[in-house]
Amino acid sequence: MRLGYVLLKRLQRERRRRRRRHALVPDESIASPEKRKGSCYQQDDSPRSSKKMRYSGPDLPEEMWQHIHSLMPMKDAARVACLSSAFLYSWRNRPKLSFSTETMGIVEGTTDFIRKIDRVMKKHSGIGVKALTIEFNGLFSTKARSYLERWLQIAVTPRIEELSLSMSKGKSYYDFPCSLLSDGSGSSIRLLDLYRCTFRPTAEIGCFQSLTRLHLEYVSITGDELGCVFSTSFALEWLKLRLCRHIKYMKLPCVLQRLTYVEVRGCSRLRVIENKAPNLHSLHIFYQPYHPIKLSFGESSLVKNLRIGYSSVLDHACAELPYIFPNLETLTIGLLGEMVNTPMVPNTFLLLKYLCITLSAVTLSPSYDYLSLVSFLDACPSLDTFIVDVSAKHPKNDSIFKNPSHLRQLPEQRHDNLRNVKITGFRSAKSLFELTYHILENTSVECLTLDTSFESFRCSPGKPGRCLQTSKDDPMEASKALFAIRTYIEGKVPSTVRLNVVEPCSRCHVMEPFTVESNSGNEMQ
């Protein structure tokens, strides 16, 4: 915070100024009160003060200074408390405590990290803690367990609002003491964020009536135990479950009236998601490739935003999605091979305006026909934005250079609401060009972006780091795609369409120009 930083610097300058005065006037213990009149800092000469400075101006309410102090980073707040006794009380009652290798500075192993946190917690009164964050970052050990439980007993009171614990990566999990949340201590928590913990809540714990955000990652918890949390979480708005591999089913009860966002990622044993929360609008399901997940959402589902990433979400095909989620407006989907082979029924996503499809090289056949994606356009009469992310490799016999004169055309079907189209990972595959021609000829597209870059991570100008490529053949494939776009697409783009061609990063890659020579037919050199 800028104001806190300025305050710290002013305190430090004042301390240096007072030291210089003391050096110049050795017979005086300190400058006289008259000489101090212009300073907004006064010395506290009480026995407990250790000659710290009190802040005497500007004239702001004490609560305001305490609030400013609470917003400062941990290290700055501690320094200010050392320089000014006026902030020492605020430090001992600091409402937000955040401990990590970043906030605690340089630590020399687990013992030093524990010692620094314990020193702060012992001096803290325990009164008024509203947020506690502890990130061990590889420093959690058996020794830390007893300390952590004592810290939690100090901080977890009926006034705490945010609790975030991140244990170290490894096989051992921390058994979170759910008893701390009983007797009303859990009723004030608004955010609960646990990483690498065992969490065994029961109905006896009590009410999570204030809980609005729940994030569990690598947490050992069952569906029944999760249900104990849901049953009293009347204010829950946001739920994120990642790599919680003991959950086999998840039931979202109707008491979750405020729940709008649910994310499930890598919960490998999950089989059923049953939803009765009436206002759930966003559902994200990622990396569930091993077993189908049955989705039970009822006929009146209000889900408008759906993201499915490489998941066997449905028992059959993604063609069922329109019937499970009839009110979808945005859909982002990473398709598995068996799903993309099922054509979509026309006019089924009646409200869908944004569609992003990612085709993975892991699950997709190299000979996949990209022209078949037109069935998704037929299914979405209101579609405004269409994005295709291609990461699959293409066989040489599917190249546009082999036979550019014999291109397939589908029966004319207008898509007049489509305005923006983007194809990333664009290559010289013939069926990709057929898809592009269909879009140019049968839509009202205004902006067409063909992205030939291949970097999984793209660098930023002026910042360290280089782009990462996924294959040594990527530069040549991108060069072929650029040549093909200039040869076979640019001349066919209407004047009403803005064509954007994205090239690979010139800072990190040297692109060799690609040429096609006529030798016993069209051959790629």
Q: Is residue 366's pLDDT more than 70?
A: no
Query: How is residue 124 annotated by DSSP?
Result: S
Quote the pLDDT of residue 244. 94
Q: Is residue 495's pLDDT more than 50?
A: yes
Q: Please answer whether residues 65 and 55 qualify as being in contact, where contact means their C-beta atoms are separated by less than 8 angstroms.
A: yes
Residue 405: C-alpha distances to residues 316, 430, 450 (Å): 38, 11, 21
Q: Is residue 6's pLDDT more than 80?
A: no
| Distance from C-alpha of 193 to C-alpha of 108, rounded to nearest angstrom | 27
Q: Is residue 486's pLDDT more than 90?
A: yes
Largest CA distance in the chain: 103
Tell me the DSSP string of 45-84: -STTTTTPEEE--S---HHHHHHHHHHS-HHHHHHHHHHB
Q: What is the mean pLDDT of residues 508-514?
A: 69
Quick: pLDDT tens for 288-323. 666 778 888 887 789 999 998 766 554 444 667 888
**Range from 5-9, 45-49, 187-191 carrying the lowest mean pLDDT:** 45-49
Token match 């004169």: residue?
A: 405
The answer, as to whether pTM is greater than 0.85, is no
Quote the pLDDT of residue 331. 93
Quote the pLDDT of residue 47. 43
Residue 210: C-alpha distances to residues 158, 159, 160, 229, 337 (Å): 11, 11, 11, 12, 43
Q: What are phi and psi of 143, to 5 degrees?
A: -60, -30
| Distance from C-alpha of 92 to C-alpha of 48, rounded to nearest angstrom | 15
Residues above pLDDT 70, as percent of the chain: 69
β-strand partners of 389:
358, 424
**Encoded tokens for 412:** 């004319």
Quick: pLDDT tens for 94-137. 788 888 888 777 677 778 888 888 888 877 777 778 899 998 87
Residue 362: pLDDT band by 50, 70, 90 thresholds?
A: low
Quote the pLDDT of residue 319. 67
Quote the pLDDT of residue 464. 67
**Range from 188-202, 213-227, 302-316, 345-359 carrying the lowest mean pLDDT:** 302-316
**Range from 68-72, 81-85, 384-388, 509-513 carrying the lowest mean pLDDT:** 81-85
For residue 501, what is the enclosing H or E element? Answer: strand 498-502
At a CB cut-off of 8 Å and minimum separation 6, what does 411 contact? none
Cα angle for residues 13, 16, 17 (degrees, 5° grid):
85
Quote the pLDDT of residue 513. 72
Higher pLDDT: 422 or 124? It is 422
Q: What is the mean pLDDT of the chain?
A: 78
Quick: pLDDT tens for 14-27. 556 655 555 443 44
Q: What is the mean pLDDT of residues 438-446?
A: 94
Q: What is the mean pLDDT of residues 249-278?
A: 93
Higher pLDDT: 390 or 64? It is 390
Q: What is the mean pLDDT of residues 404-417?
A: 84
Q: Is residue 9's pLDDT more than 90?
A: no
Q: What is the mean pLDDT of residues 512-520?
A: 58
Reported as half-sphere exposure (CB side, CA atoms, 13 A), residue 227 has a value of 14
Quote the pLDDT of residue 358. 84
Q: Is residue 246's pLDDT more than 60?
A: yes
Q: What is the mean pLDDT of residues 513-522?
A: 54
Q: What are phi and psi of 197, to 5 degrees?
A: -130, 160
Q: Is residue 497's pLDDT more than 70?
A: yes
Quick: pLDDT tens for 41-98. 444 444 444 444 444 445 666 666 666 666 676 667 666 666 666 666 666 777 888 8
